A = this chain, B = another copy of it.
Amino acid sequence: MPAPLEFFFDFSSPYAYLASHRIGLLARRHGREVRWRPMMLGPAMAATGGKPLVHVPLKGDYARRDLPRTARFHGIPFEMPSLFPQVTLAAARLFYWLEEQAPERAVPFAQSVFKALFVDDQNVADRAVVGRLAAAAGVDEATALAAIDQSDVKEKLKVVTADAVERGVFGSPFIFVDGEPFWGADRLDQIDRWLASGGF
């Protein structure tokens, strides 16, 4: 069994949301799985001096035009959130708790977080919202909410983030294919050929 694609992202990243709609099918076409790796982009950005795109003059205005256009280009539903960017710490921690407790529910939960944020204009920084998404994914809401503050869950997200930065991740989405790094939703076409031909 070939190694899964490693899909690093911050839930608050709209380009990661766009990639999340396409990466599963892409991987399956080549007999691969996707290992979803939500992380906190803040520490990674600290290393590069990066800032959230929408806070940068000119670039932010462009992104607000490019995002819906790119979503239309790929036929992906998208609404720019009213509140942006959002701190997605609780959602990322819950992902790793689910990965331990009910692994088959982790990716559907992650997809529901992206949908809440980039389609349904919800505030996923609000724990009540994240708790409802966990309940919809089939786990007990109160247990899930309590898990957000468990020290092993907090530690897991820190380790994943530190590991990502160590491996050179500075943006979202960031995808490794057999160790080869690809940054950005724009690189899925290269990943497709890379998987087809084992590099180029």
Contact = CB atoms under 8 A, between A and B. Distances in A.
Given A190-B70, A200-B73, A181 B57 contact: no
A125 B44 CA distance: 34
Nearest to A44: B58
A62 B170 contact: yes
A59 B170 contact: yes
Nearest 10 A/B pairs, CB to CB: A186-B186, A58-B170, A48-B58, A48-B56, A48-B59, A73-B190, A58-B168, A72-B200, A59-B170, A48-B57
Interface of A: 44, 47-51, 56-59, 61-62, 65-66, 69-70, 72-73, 168-171, 181-184, 186-187, 189-190, 193, 200
